[in-house]
Each structure stands twice: as C-alpha cells, then as structure tokens.
Chains A and B, each alone.
Chain A
Amino acid sequence: MSTAGPSAVAGPDDVAVRAAAQLVRDLPPAPALWCDGLRKRYGRRTAVDGVSLSVGRGEVVGLLGPNGAGKTTVIKMLLGLVRPDAGEVMVLGRPGSDPAARARVGYLPELFRYQPWLTAAEVLELHVRLSGADVPAVERHGCLELVGLAARAGDRVGGFSKGMQQRLGLAVALVARPELVVLDEPTSALDPLGRADVRDVVLSLKERGVAVLLNSHLIGEVERVCDRVVVLDRGTVAASGTLAELLGRREVRLHLGSVGPEGQARLAAAGPLEREGAWFTVGLPAEDDGTTVPDLVADLVALGVRVHAVEPTRISLEERLLGILRANSGDGRP
C-alpha cells in the first residue's frame, strides 16, 4: 500500500473515508442523554456515587428517589452546571463539556429565579437569543400561552407568584425548540390544573419525539407519562427499567356471584387464580393486548355468573418504589 503513488493512495482512502462516513450516518442517533460513572462529593459527603443512565431519543424517563438522593446533582452534572469529580457525559451526541451540546436542550431547574427586572416575554427572548435558535415572536407567545401566562407577557417577572415563575420556567425550557427537555420537579409549586397541564405538555413532547428527563416526587405523574424509570437512592442507581419491568404483572379483581364449576374453570383458564370469598383475583399475562378482561367477563356472563365488579389492579409504582427504597435501607449501609 505504501508503495503506491499519492494519487493512487488517495483513491482507496477516499472510498474508505466515505464508507466510514456512511457507516456513521447509518448508525442510530446517539442517545439524547448519556452518562457513565458520575461521581460528586461535597466536602466529605458523597452526593452522587457512580451514576450511569441514558435517555434515548424521544424517550420519556422518570428520575425518582427520596430527598437528598442526588437527583438534582445528577441533572446539574448532565447539563455542565456542576463539575463532576469523575464520569462522562454525552448530550445529544456531543461531550457534555462542549457548550454547543446544549443548543437543543431545555431545562427547568428545581430552584431558580429569573432576572426580576425582565418581563416574561423578555425572558423568553433572552433565552432564544442565547440558545442560538431563531424563534419568531408569535411562537414565543405561543409558548407563554401553553403555560397559561399569555395575559402576563408584559409583566415583570419579579412580581410573579411561585407557581407563575415555574410556569414561565416551563415555557423557557420549551421555547428554543428543544430535542431534549430536562424538568427538575416541574410541578412542585403548581395547582392541580397546572399539574395536568405539565402532564399534557410532556405527553405532547413525547408525541413530537422530544426526549424528556423528568424528576418528580409525584409518582402518579411519572407513572402516567414515563416510558422508563430510574430510581436513585443515596447517590446510586437503586433500580431502573421500563414500567412493565419494574411493576411486574398486572391483575384483575372481580366481585362475582353464583360461580359454578364451569365459571371457576373459565377463571382459572385466564390466569393464576386466587379467591377470597366472593372476590376473585386473576393474574394477567404480561403480553396482554387488552382483550383478556373483556373476553373473560363476556364468557362469565354467558355461563350465568353474576358480575358485580371488575377492577384492574396493578402494584403501583409508589408501592414498588417504597419496596425498593426499604430493601435498600435494609442492606446495612448507614
């Protein structure tokens, strides 16, 4: 190879480079967010100890854990706000140390304040400028509308209530057309309506293929919107996985009258059966396509069984979380 003339070398090399470039293009896009072995100490206290996680493109991941688990610290390290003592971060395919990595990232911090002398509209304008995006005023106003602040666009942020500030924070996180949105307790100050709004916002982000990392203490909220959950406890990942993986199988509880042997057999055929007086609990198959329960009920009615109640039950994420955290605290660590 080395004996060939320069022009002869350029040919195959060129081909190789192009092939490599094609290979890189064909690779699945890098995860929206990825980190490995993140570690952070504050003085003698280890806040985060070897956290690795990733958020795929368009994926909604919940970050759960008790107070002081290190969730906010992890998020700040992911966004380059806190220097990790060890570990690597990649944001939208670029190393986290490169500020350009955050060009398409929206962030709603846990505790924050905007320049109180700016109006809501000016705050959005500032952030659009800093992000380098070109977002017209109409779209910016749309963002304020989305969070219910359209009427206050011209008011100074210093006079906003806590919940209004948080709403504005959400608008700021969304305004620069992000591909990744990081929300650190977005609903802590919101009224029930606001919480529902945030849920809708996250769902619509998911629909548009925007990745979301959501830290919240409202487990029901996380359960409803997240594809996957990462549980942090005392600075380490205590558990992670999809909701189905974490929560295991689902069940249905039925309150039945006049169950004959045939009815009993039909119930047993649907899945593992438990009985407590007139209440029957049937375990559902993991790959349930939504037909098992209606089919079962139809068949039971046909067999003359009186159906008083049908309740789908699922071990809730909350119970599962408490289980994980209790098991974790029982393993001898201080």
Chain B
Amino acid sequence: MTARTVLTIAGLTLREAARRRVVWALLALTVVLLALSAWGFSKLVGLDTEFGTMTSGEARLVASLLLNLIMFGLSLIAAIGTAFLAGPTLAGELESGQALVLLARPVRRSSVLLGKWLGLVAFGSGYVVLAGLAQILVVGATVGYWPPAPATGLALLAAETVVLLTLALLLSSVVSTMASGIVAVGLFGATWVAGVVGGIGGALGNEGVESVGTVSRVLLPTDGLWRGAMNAFQDPIALVQMGPGEGGFPFLSEAALSPAYLAWAAVWIAMVWGLTALSFSRRDA
C-alpha cells in the first residue's frame, strides 16, 4: 500500500518534470554548454601563448580548472532546476487544490512526501550524473584529460543536488510559490561564496575569516560536497603546480572529503526531511 503510493507519486513527479517546459529549457542549456566546452577544449590543445605552445602539463592544469568550472555550471543548473521543481510543490499544491484530491485518497502524507522526494532525487541526480559524465567524456576526447575519481565526483555532485532539493522541499512546505526555490538557490549561492571567503581566509592565515566557510559548510552541506566533487575531478598535480597559498582559488579543492562530513551530510538530509514530513503532516489542505 505505502510502497505503491510512494512509487506512484515518484513516477508522477518524474512525469511532471518531463512535461514541464522549464526542464526542456534546462536540457537545451546543458547541451549548449557541452557543445561550447567541446569547442573551447579543442581550441585549447594547440593554443599558442606569448610564451610558446602550452606544455601538456599546463594544458592538463587548465583542463582540470576548466572541468571544475563547467561542473560548477552543471551543478548550478541542476540546483536551479530541482529547486524550482521542488519549490512550488507542497504548499503550492495545497493552495491550488492539487493536493486536495490526492490527499483524500487512502495515502499517508509521509508516503506522498517520500514519493515526491524520490522523484526529485531521481531527476536531479540523474541529470547531474548524465550531464557530468557527458562533460567528462568531452574533456577526455578533446584534451585527453581524465579525472582521477570520476564516479566519486559525480556521486558527490548528485549528493549536492539532493541536499539542495531537500532544503527546497522543506521551504516549500512552509512558504508557497517560487519563493522557496529562489531562497534555496540563494542559500546555495551564499554558502558557495562563504566557502570561497573561508578559503581566502585560510590562504591569508586568518582563522576568523576561515571559520566563515567552515560554519556555512556545516549549516548547508552543498558547498562542502561541491569541494569534495572538485577534488575528485581535478588533476592532483594541479594543486602542486598552483603552489601553496592558492587555496583560496574557488575552482580547486585542497582535500578530499572526510567520512565524518559525508555522514553529517546524510544526517542533515534526514533531519531536514523529517522536519518537512512533520510540517507537511500538520498542514491543513
């Protein structure tokens, strides 16, 4: 009974995603991004600089940076896409009367929520993994750079998306409309900026500024997961080449993720999900 409800709602959520124009717009954007990057990377190979042709090492460094940059773009697209899909769901559907007809069926609200969440997770992480993989292949084919741990990186990107859409769902159970999507994306951007600020603080040896990044990474795990993903995509030599003191650079990450941080991200997701379930079950339809 419950499993069927969950699967039915998950399927409905995916179908909604597939039939919304916004989603196709996002996909088109992705294809454009992939094509542009393929063109750019192919130009990169034979690039003449003032100092002569780039060495293969330099090319790998640049490719590594650019790959992270593009991955950031992809994760941003995924974040915006899922946040805007998740944003108007719970409260918006309650207000428009869409939820009324569903919730009058013999379904538990937590099952409906789980179904929605699973559908969004499948959509968001499916998108990041596929688009990310395509990008890795593009880079591999054009400059011959292959990231050290592509699977880990893609999984972390997916996890980042899951964190964000869970947050967007919580917001959507409290406030309606697009506002929750906008707030979720805003928080996502804010933690990223806080992470960069913290990195600069670290590079300058200022502990106060560095803690900004640390705290924000605990409060909303998107940036921490993103840094883990970058670490898995970048050339290990890149950091050495950039040299110490460049830790503040936003598209390179110094360390891989600790298991404790991953566990925290999982706990964070479970907690926010539980809060959402609580608030959704108490809402009047």
Contact = CB atoms under 8 A, between A and B. Distances in A.
23 contacts: A76-B285, A80-B103, A81-B100, A81-B285, A99-B106, A101-B106, A102-B106, A103-B106, A105-B104, A109-B100, A112-B98, A113-B96, A113-B97, A115-B12, A115-B16, A126-B8, A127-B101, A129-B4, A130-B5, A130-B105, A131-B105, A131-B106, A169-B101
B103 A127 contact: no
B16 A82 contact: no
Contacts of B5: 130
Contacts of A82: 284-285
User: What band does the interface of chain B fall in when counting residues whose beta carbon is under 8 Å from A?
Assistant: 20 to 34
A114 B103 contact: no
B1 A107 contact: no
Interface in A290-310: none
B190 to A, nearest CB: 32
Interface string B72-106: 00000000000000000000000011101111111
A286 B131 CA distance: 78
A312 interface: no
Contact of B101 (A103, A112, A132): A112
A265 B104 CA distance: 60
A113 B103 CA distance: 13
B29 interface: no
Which 7 pairs across A and B sit closest by C-beta, in order of nearness?
A112-B97, A81-B285, A117-B19, A130-B105, A107-B104, A103-B106, A82-B284
A101 B105 CA distance: 9
B15 interface: yes
Contacts of B16: 115, 117
Nearest to A182: B104
A79 interface: yes
B105 A117 contact: no
Contacts of A131: 105-106
Interface string B1-19: 1001100100010011001
Interface of A: 76, 79-83, 99-103, 105, 107, 109, 111-115, 117-118, 126-127, 129-132, 169, 172
Contacts of A83: 282, 284
Nearest to B20: A117
Given A81-B100, A113-B97, 10 more contacts: A80-B103, A81-B284, A83-B284, A103-B106, A117-B16, A117-B20, A130-B102, A131-B105, A131-B106, A169-B101
Contacts of A107: 101, 104
Contacts, number: 70
B107 interface: yes
A102 B104 contact: yes
Contacts of B106: 99-103, 105, 130-132
A114 B19 contact: no
Contacts of B1: 100, 132
Most buried by A among B8, B15, B100, B105: B105
B98 A115 contact: yes
Contact of B12 (A102, A112, A126, A169): A126
A111 B94 CA distance: 11
Given A83-B284, A114-B98, A117-B20, A132 B103 contact: no
Nearest to B282: A83
Nearest to B12: A126
Most buried by B among A99, A114, A115, A126: A99
A130 B8 contact: yes
A184 B267 CA distance: 43
Given A117-B16, A117-B20, A112 B100 contact: yes
Contacts of B103: 80-81
A130 B107 contact: yes
B101 A172 contact: yes
Nearest to A75: B104
A118 B98 CA distance: 12
